[in-house]
Amino acid sequence: MKKIMILATGGTIAGMHSKKSLHYDAGVLGIEVLLKELAGIEKIAKISSKQLFNINSKDMSFEKMYEIAKESSEALKEFDGVVITHGSDSLEESAFFLHLLISSKKPIVFTASMRAFNALSSDALKNLYNAIIVAASKRSENKGVLIALNDKIFSALHSSKIHSTNVNAFSSPCELGYIQNQECFFYENFYASKAIFDIKKLTKFEKVSCLMSCVDDENEILAEFLFQNGVKGLVVAGFGSGSMSENLKKKLKTLMKKGLVVMVSSRVFNARISLNDQDIRAGFLSSRTLNPQKARIFLSLALSLAKNKNEFQDFIKRLDD
């Protein structure tokens, strides 16, 4: 029987409604409370658990994501898979963070819920149960970091939260598979790229911020302010396939000559960024298919770990591997 470690971090899956309100508090219950309610899980896997912290995922940080990554790496030395319970709001960022840092044949599976533990028709226990099934399955090996929600399986590389309350809250251009009758199935053979970064070398996080392109915005002012206050990189969530106002582009070209690194993404859900030759020569970087929040994580890690320009460029090229 497979041995699975559950690392709990809080979120709605550990949340509770009060009797007098429709609102709920996230990150209230310990993981042991959820596990007591998972009848029959002992037939799926031998479970161990650890409560890393118990927070609303809006309060997630790079330091906490790093702790999750380190604990997962250590657990994979002893266990056959890892399940991470997490709030849905920032789950895609934490999952992508681990996807970039951990190379392992063994599955790492994130899960969450959209309804609190004691809510009517809560999805908390079902999602946790399914995540354990995915983590304990041989079919899940060599697929990078996975997300199991609402009977579906996603890759951390491509999935995003697209609805604020619906149980079908996550989507992806390339959904990987599904869970049915206590088994997981994948639509096709899928092999995620190996981790781009080495977790053992990570000692800091360079400051990277995002700018959202809007009509008649004043992002050029914000870009100058952020650069003057220690931000090393900027991700621009551009229009369409990454376009931005001429005022912002002019300002960014000036700041890039002073050392700012700029990566172009899009505010559109499904977009691939292809820069023209002029923008490439100016120094703009393409996020490829990464959305702004994932591009920010990637750029921060690349800036934090690159010893020189050549190594930084190698990290960028590996986005296409």
Cα–Cα dist 156/140, whole Å: 13
CATH of region 206-320, choose from 1.10.3720.10, 3.40.50.1820, 3.40.50.40, 3.50.50.60 = 3.40.50.40
Phi then psi for residue 233, to 5 deg, are -140, 150
Task: Name the CATH superfamily housing domain 3-186.
Answer: L-asparaginase, N-terminal domain (3.40.50.1170)
pLDDT digits (tens, 9 = 90+) for 291-315: 999 999 999 999 999 999 999 999 9
What residues are labeled active site?
A: 12
pLDDT digits (tens, 9 = 90+) for 28-51: 999 999 999 998 899 999 999 999
Tell me the pTM.
0.91
Cβ 135 vs Cβ 143: under 8 Å:
no
Nearest to 67 by CA among 127, 25, 7: 7
Per the document, the length of the chain is 321
Q: For strand 285-286 and strand 261-266, is the pairing parallel, antiparallel, or unpaired?
A: parallel
Cα–Cα dist 80/184, whole Å: 16
Residues of the chain with CATH 3.40.50.1170: 3-186
pLDDT at 20 over 80: no
Supply the DSSP symbol for 150.
T
Burial call 11-23: b when 16+ CB within 10 Å, e when fewer: bbbbbbbeeeeee
Packed helices 292-305 and 309-317: angle between N→C axes, nearest 10 degrees: 150
pLDDT digits (tens, 9 = 90+) for 85-102: 999 999 999 999 999 999
